[in-house]
Amino acid sequence: MFQRYHIPRAVEALHGFRQALRVDLLEAGLDGPELERVVLAVDEACANAIQHGPQSGAGQAPILVEMAFAEGLLRIRLADVGRFEPQPESMAEDPRQRVASGQAGGLGLHLMHRIMDRVQYRQANGRHWCILELAVGRG
């Protein structure tokens, strides 16, 4: 299975995208909590792309999301997410400390890393990608 989405760089566009993603994930065989966790991780990645990605001019092109599912591996790639890669020290923090101290942001990254088996940031062909992978159906 392969799907491609183009999401406008607006938080308001994410609701419709989440609905479409749920339908496609159901068709791929995901359901219940596993499906909802994947939707949450992808939604967080899109929100980060909106917040940290290109903010004007040609950079306002929609976020490209590609989803592929084959042989038990779900791979979701988001293009044009901005020049962003979390620092190892920020990922080592306990997210509860961020909440307790009133720090804004950073929780979505922790969610993405807890939900997905692998979260990577890459550059290829002049684009910045966030790649999310999950082995599906492990029980």
φ/ψ of residue 34, rounded to 5: -60, -45
Strand ranges inside the chain, DSSP E = 2-7, 63-70, 73-79, 118-124, 127-135
How remote is the C-alpha of 41 from its chain's centroid? Answer: 5
pLDDT of the residue at 102: 63
pLDDT tens column, 85-113: 665 555 556 666 655 666 666 677 888 98
**76: exposed, middle or buried (C-beta count within 10 Å: 0-12, 13-18, 19+)?**
buried
The amino acid present at 12, given as its one-letter code, is: E
The domain segmentation of the chain, as residue ranges, is 2-135
pLDDT of the residue at 82: 66
pTM of the model: 0.83
Architecture (CATH level 2) of domain 2-135 = 2-Layer Sandwich (3.30)
Mean pLDDT of the chain: 83
